[in-house]
Amino acid sequence: MALSFGLAQQALIAPEAVPDDLLGEIFVLIYRGLAGTSSTAAAPR
């Protein structure tokens, strides 16, 4: 939620600084990071 609010505020201040697809890219990166850490955390040591 905070990411979307922050990006929306930044887009109001400087629209050229926030590409239209930035929020989607951020969500993908967060998901990949969580998916990557969950698979390594579940692996037996």
**Model pLDDT, residue 38:** 77
Alpha-carbon span 22 to 39, nearest angstrom = 26
The DSSP-derived string for 3-45 is: HHHHHHHHHHH-GGGS-TTHHHHHHHHHHHHHHHHHHHHHS--
Contact between residue 29 and residue 22 where contact means Cβ atoms under 8 Å apart: no
The answer, yes or no, to whether residue 43 has pLDDT greater than 60, is no
**pLDDT tens-place string over residues 6-38:** 999 999 999 999 999 999 999 999 999 999 887
DSSP annotation of 20: T
Domain count, the chain: 1
Alpha-carbon span 15 to 18, nearest angstrom = 6
Range of the domain at 27: 2-42
